[in-house]
A and B are shown apart, each in its own frame.
Chain A
Amino acid sequence: MTDAKRVETMKAVRKLMLALATTLTLTAHAQHDPGTPAAVAAKVALRGDANGVRIPEMRVVRRNDILMVQADLANIGNTDRTIFYRFRWLDNIGSQVGDGESWKQMSLLGQAQQTVKSVAPSSVVTDFRLEMNVESR
């Protein structure tokens, strides 16, 4: 192989390695859908990829001294998705309140939106996280 060809090959391999390393890094972390606002994403503990499911809005209200949360889940793809979700309730210092909710399974049709809601188990709850994972098929 001539020197020029060797240099070209090395450049191509370096580019490939850089691209692969970048992709590997990105896939290692859970990816929120770009349509999920940052403020909402901060309250979502997503396991794995969003797989086309975004959370365009979350509504939090304190009524009768109890925190209530509603989250809209939107499937922007055409494939139906199976979602597992639950809410985790936290007090003012971030400690979990209660033993935790059970996981719920939900089917979200392609191009559909559904609202999930939950009510905190006691008045000491001041914060929450929505834990969820979206099956890829």
Chain B
Amino acid sequence: MSRLITSALLLCATLGLSACETLSSPVVRLDRQVNYGDAKSVELVTNEFGSTDLQMIAEKMVGSLLETGIFQGRPTVTISTVKNKTSEYIDTTNVMNSIQTTLVKSGKVRFVRSITEMQQGVDELQRQNQSGLYKQTSTAKIGKMTAAKYTLEGELTSIVKQNASTKDVFYKFTLKMIDVEEGSIEWQDEKEIRKTSKR
């Protein structure tokens, strides 16, 4: 009987211990000196613009573009300027790269070189056609590029408010798709993010 009571007590202890264990949430944390973390985890290190904000913005914008069906017939699109109007240093090309990568993988749209990427394209064409090194039948011909039908333009703004105990940062990312020929805005969406922290 004492064996039975001992087993019962052991079971109680196990249940008690298992009840104390709480499931961890997918948040960036450091358990040892260096760790490979999950790139998709929520980053809560500071309330400045971070990886999770970038991912959320890209996913929202891509989802919004795909669900409108504006990409019927696989039109050509290029990335124009994305202004950073916040007080932080944020590389907005990071956000646009994520959006472009997902859209290209969807197969619904064709991206063409942006203004910042043009010089590399021109250099390559000149190298192929003017260096005299390549067979004429194999070179890419000058004057055959496909122009963009739409451009994607955007801006990131922030509103920061703080008091003795709290700092609140509100980000808003606005993205527009503009018809190059007509100048009309064919699609527009925004993503709002609020991050609050104790001071």
User: Are B5 and A118 touching (Cβ within 8 A)?
Assistant: no
Cβ contacts under 8 Å, A121 to chain B: 62, 66, 102, 105-106
Number of A interface residues in the complex (CB < 8 A): 39
User: Are B52 and A102 touching (Cβ within 8 A)?
Assistant: yes
Q: Give the nearest-CB partner of A105 in chain B.
A: B42
Interface string of A80-103 (1 = CB under 8 A from B): 001010100000000000101111
Interface members, chain A 101-131 (any B CB < 8 Å): 101-105, 117-123
A79 at the interface (CB under 8 A from B): no
A78 at the interface (CB under 8 A from B): no
Cβ contacts under 8 Å, B5 to chain A: 13
User: Are A119 and B62 touching (Cβ within 8 A)?
Assistant: yes
User: Are A103 and B41 touching (Cβ within 8 A)?
Assistant: yes
- Name which of A10, A48, A121, A123 has the most chain B CB atoms within 10 A of its CB: A121
**In the assembly, what is the distance between CA of A102 and CA of B41, in Å?**
6
**In the assembly, what is the distance between CA of A101 and CA of B19, in Å?**
31
**Interchain CB contact (< 8 A) of A64 among B8, B12, B14, B69:** B69
Cβ contacts under 8 Å, B7 to chain A: 17
User: Are A13 and B55 touching (Cβ within 8 A)?
Assistant: no
**In the assembly, what is the distance between CA of A25 and CA of B163, in Å?**
48
**Interchain CB contact (< 8 A) of A102 among B22, B40, B67:** B40
A66 at the interface (CB under 8 A from B): yes
A39 at the interface (CB under 8 A from B): no
User: Are B25 and A133 touching (Cβ within 8 A)?
Assistant: yes
Interface string of B123-142 (1 = CB under 8 A from A): 00000000000000000000
A2 at the interface (CB under 8 A from B): no
User: Are A47 and B23 touching (Cβ within 8 A)?
Assistant: yes
User: Are A20 and B40 touching (Cβ within 8 A)?
Assistant: no
User: Are A136 and B22 touching (Cβ within 8 A)?
Assistant: yes
Cβ contacts under 8 Å, A20 to chain B: 8, 11-12, 15
Given contacts A16-B8, A64-B66, A103-B41, contact A10 B1 (CB under 8 A): yes
A59 at the interface (CB under 8 A from B): no
B179 at the interface (CB under 8 A from A): no
Given contacts A24-B15, A68-B67, A102-B56, contact A122 B8 (CB under 8 A): no
* Minimum distance in angstroms from B60 CB to a CB of chain A: 9
Cβ contacts under 8 Å, B12 to chain A: 20
B155 at the interface (CB under 8 A from A): no
Top 6 A-B pairs ranked by shortest CB distance?
A119-B63, A64-B69, A102-B55, A48-B23, A103-B26, A102-B40
Interface residues of B (CB under 8 A from A): 1, 4-5, 7-8, 11-12, 14-15, 18-19, 22-23, 25-27, 39-42, 44, 52, 55-56, 59, 62-64, 66-69, 72, 102, 105-108
